[in-house]
Amino acid sequence: MRVNNKIAVITGAASGQGASEAKLLASEGATVIVADIREELGLSVVAEINRMDESAEYVQLDVRDEKNWQDVISHVLNKHERIDILINNAAISGSQPDLLSTSEYDKIMEVNSKGVFLGMKTCLPIMKEQNIGSIVNISSHAAFVGQEYVHMGYSGSKAAVRTMTKSAAVQYAEFNVRVNSVHPGMMPPMLTSAGTARPEMRKIMVQEIPMKREGKVEEVAYAVLFLASDEASYITGAELVVDGGTIPYTPEALTLKQENRADWLERDPEIKCYLPGVPRATYMPFPFQIFHNSNAIFIAYEYAGATRDISLEALEPSQTDSWMGQSSAHWEGDTLVVDVTGLNDQTCFDRSGSHHSNQLHVVERYTLLDADHIQYEATIEDPVVFTRPWTIRMPLYRRIENDAQLMDFKCVEFVEELLYGEFRRDPLER
């Protein structure tokens, strides 16, 4: 039981994502307060939870109304004497036809931004006095990127939630109150969705998601559960993105990415046998070997004979950009942390046209799990191309055969197309 005996208030819990969060936290031992403006739906969720022999009750709440908030929280305190968890989930969509509507802007900000603020305003003093508490604010992937199909007020409201979360986290950390945000990507349409609920629009949206599907409300609920639980006791001010791996491109960079993907045979540096860059060299389907002593680290890659010298001393900024960049490293316990700068803009992250500028900054983390496995993590930051840093993780496996070695590599331009091009859905003309 990950939240056993905790009192959790969840707004917008009468349907969809909020209902999923309520059911999950109840199944993990919490007493859940289903707070929503829609009584019939809210009572239905409570009845379902109670049928599972879990504990829940419904309270009617309009998150825009400060007096309503005060009344609800007073009721919860009178009955349960504390509030351990607040999940500010209630929100409305911004996918209406008129993307410049002032009335729509006001409505979105009232629910999505002011509603979250009022929830924190009401609960933070209580949690401070308790000297413990966890608040999880539901923001959105839209807090990081512009979206052509939603009202700008929606992105603005979710960005406000993101930054309010960080401010509250700093202000209340010393009182053992944690405040974090969750940022879902494409999910099943809200009840208030219009444009984004259309099948043709959702088909377009899915194509930009690496996992090629929309998310499930349960997947967001598990992220919320983790942040609400004591498992996240040293995490505050964090942004947990649940978006299927969507890379946070700026609108201009996304356009170029789409062009690269459409013309990848001409634009992908791998096709032309160029060096792969960092971090791509690590996850290409070719082995590499790490050599190290107490003073230096050297990595030799099979693909294109690429190499890296990694200094264990701080380096001056590189005077020139290069394919593999400049790497310096230090140890954090059992984790080797490698700082990579000085990369040129000629490499791509993959065959889908994912690109970067020469402002790319990569921080790699190599953690030895056992004799044959390393956990690899790379955080990617590029203010020219991406709206925020993003991270990839994967295990690396040692080749354990007795004769394992790097082979000679000969790159022939377009060899893959020559060998397998006939199997394309639409073969290229030759």
Tokens of 69: 């908030």
Residue ranges of E strands in 81-201: 85-88, 133-138, 177-184
Per-residue DSSP letter, 30: P
Residue 397 among the catalytic residues: no
Determine the Cα–Cα distance for residues 348 and 359; give it in Å rounded to an integer: 14
Phi then psi dihedrals of residue 307, to 5 deg: -140, 160
> Among candidates 341, 327, 353, which has minimal Cα distance to 269?
353
Determine the Cα–Cα distance for residues 77 and 127; give it in Å rounded to an integer: 11
The residues pairing with 58 across neighbouring beta strands, listed in sequence order, are: 34
Per-residue DSSP letter, 85: E
The alpha carbon of 420 is separated from its chain's Cα centroid by a whole number of angstroms, namely 35
Determine the Cα–Cα distance for residues 282 and 293; give it in Å rounded to an integer: 20
Q: Do residues 211 and 245 touch, judged by C-beta distance below 8 A?
A: yes
Determine the Cα–Cα distance for residues 279 and 135; give it in Å rounded to an integer: 35
Catalytic hit among 154, 249, 274, 301: 154
- Beta-carbon count within 10 A of 113 CB: 19
Residues 6+ apart with CB under 8 A from 400: 372
The alpha carbon of 412 is separated from its chain's Cα centroid by a whole number of angstroms, namely 37
The alpha carbon of 176 is separated from its chain's Cα centroid by a whole number of angstroms, namely 25
Determine the Cα–Cα distance for residues 328 and 278; give it in Å rounded to an integer: 13
Complete DSSP assignment for 138-163: E--GGGTS--TTS-HHHHHHHHHHHH
Residue showing tokens 């979250």: 116
Q: Number of helices (H) and strands (E), helices first, in the chain?
A: 12, 15
Phi then psi dihedrals of residue 164, to 5 deg: -60, -40
Per-residue DSSP letter, 408: P
Catalytic residue annotation? 154
